Chains A and B, each alone.
Chain A
């Protein structure tokens, strides 16, 4: 057994770089898709518990855990349904739109550092790459709304486009704040520059940026309370009202993949990514818990994903003009002021700016 593993490792080392990268891409993509599947189940369970219901509890896998098979049942149901293409719709763009929504959501994972050793691309401009990709996700939504030749879908697309353009600015400024505190656009370097325990992570010195970033992230993914793009009570289901079967599932997949991405980014940018909060502590600091690893990133991502679900179960939906007001008149000024504060902190060398890399 041991020799076989060694043999496999040796084989892995001999593979050309391109092939290894391709294999990692496939593994990460499948991993994200599986996470999305169980996230949908977890969401329904959590919201169920918050509303004193049980949530899905019928489909089991191997007779274990009621509800565990629900995501797979949903997927097979959607796969076996017909994809109805409405008459009068733009057939080509109608089919292209779900793909355009999904591709940026998956491509962004290329630069996320999953563990100290594991990242598909160590791009220097990782942060910029992420911003560019998240701004491309809006195409899937507006094309879906326009191509469907439906007024409800179109209204949803318009709302979504305006909302995403507005919140992208606040998000970009929050990322500028992170950039100033880390001195690098490579996500691996951003994590490494946060080394030194919980209070060295960016969340403390960039707290307003963290709040703005997460709110903008919720708005970017069109999640409650900012889900006016699909506000059921007003425009039926918004931009994907005409989509059925697996085409609808692709939009669903993109939305949830984006949620996981925003959570992962919050963890990486503000909470030290794969760094351990208990490193150097007596007793537990010397076990695997003290080492930086994927375990800690996963745990942090899980916490932020829970926040997404919690928001959805708790907050009523924003009115559209109030979303715009919050984005332009509250979040952007907050980030601008804090960038000024960071300039002062950098000038007097406190917080992250007292670290050796800054000099």
Chain B
């Protein structure tokens, strides 16, 4: 009963937050609403004892991705008129995307049904020493080892590509080389001159 009440509270917050993301005028508010939604969906995951997924959602999306998002959004020069001008022109694209997502979700539910996951009866709680993280790790590193490795390789390729795209060597660029600066020794820069004291005239 308590879990059900909590679920509805978090679900309401989640939907409200998601609406906030698309209705907020200020991009910073949009990003913060998204953070709020993430935290609420993490709470819902906690309710079904998926603590690993819940915490990783907070850790990765709230703790890292959204911080970088905010980082960029805060530095934007927010011009609302500019932002609103493209709205009608690109609205059809937004509707199209929304429609595609809805069709996909319906198709998946239609195809597989909800037979495998019977949500109406709830599920038996796992014993207290059951570790979600351990079970996920076991499956991920045995049964799904190759897809997992493949995903890792893809991420590395994306990382290398991002660096390769932005790394440029212009001639005549004046930049500091921290390694050389750190490696500097006093003898390289300082010349100690021995001078005998002058005779008093």
Is there an interface contact between B182 and A322, defined as CB atoms closer than 8 Å?
A: yes
Given the complex of chains A and B, what is the CA–CA distance between A158 and B35 in angstroms? 18
Residues on A with beta carbons closer than 8 Å to the beta carbon of B176: 321
Given the complex of chains A and B, what is the CA–CA distance between A157 and B28 in angstroms? 14
A131-B59 contact in complex given A123-B51, A154-B74, A165-B64, C-beta closer than 8 Å: yes
Instruction: Give the secondary structure class of A's interface.
Output: helix
Is there an interface contact between A146 and B28, defined as CB atoms closer than 8 Å?
A: yes
A34 on the B face (CB < 8 A): no
Given the complex of chains A and B, what is the CA–CA distance between A322 and B181 in angstroms? 10
A-B contact count (CB 8 A): 73
A343 on the B face (CB < 8 A): no
Residues on B with beta carbons closer than 8 Å to the beta carbon of A146: 28, 70, 74
Given the complex of chains A and B, what is the CA–CA distance between A138 and B35 in angstroms? 13
B175: nearest chain-A partner, CB-CB: A321
A125-B52 contact in complex given A139-B35, A161-B71, C-beta closer than 8 Å: yes
Residues on A with beta carbons closer than 8 Å to the beta carbon of B74: 142, 146, 154, 157-158
Given the complex of chains A and B, what is the CA–CA distance between A128 and B54 in angstroms? 10
Residues on A with beta carbons closer than 8 Å to the beta carbon of B28: 146
Interface range on chain B: under 10, 10 to 19, 20 to 34, or 35 or more? Answer: 20 to 34
Query: 8 Å CB contacts to B: which residues of A128-162?
Result: 128-129, 131-132, 135-136, 138-139, 142-143, 146, 154, 157-158, 161-162
B74: nearest chain-A partner, CB-CB: A146
* Max count, chain A CB within 10 A of own CB: residue among B55, B176, B179: B55
Residues on B with beta carbons closer than 8 Å to the beta carbon of A138: 63, 67
* Max count, chain A CB within 10 A of own CB: residue among B70, B176, B179, B182: B70
A218 on the B face (CB < 8 A): no
Query: 8 Å CB contacts to A: which residues of B11-48?
Result: 28, 32, 35
Task: Looking at the assembled complex, report how far the CB atom of A170 sits from the nearest CB atom of chain B, in whole angstroms.
Answer: 13
How many residues of A are in contact with the other chain, CB < 8 A? 27
Residues on B with beta carbons closer than 8 Å to the beta carbon of A321: 176, 178
A183: nearest chain-B partner, CB-CB: B134
Is there an interface contact between B67 and A142, defined as CB atoms closer than 8 Å?
A: yes
B161 on the A face (CB < 8 A): no
A342 on the B face (CB < 8 A): no
Is there an interface contact between B71 and A142, defined as CB atoms closer than 8 Å?
A: yes
B62: nearest chain-A partner, CB-CB: A136
Partner of A325, one of B63, B67, B178: B178
B106 on the A face (CB < 8 A): no
Residues on A with beta carbons closer than 8 Å to the beta carbon of B133: 124-125, 128, 185
Residues on A with beta carbons closer than 8 Å to the beta carbon of B52: 125, 128
Query: 8 Å CB contacts to A: which residues of B153-185?
Result: 176, 178-179, 181-182
Residues on A with beta carbons closer than 8 Å to the beta carbon of B62: 132, 135-136
A168 on the B face (CB < 8 A): yes
8 contacts between A and B (CB under 8 A): A124-B131, A124-B132, A136-B63, A139-B35, A146-B28, A146-B74, A165-B67, A321-B176
Closest 3 CB pairs of A and B: A135-B63, A132-B59, A132-B58
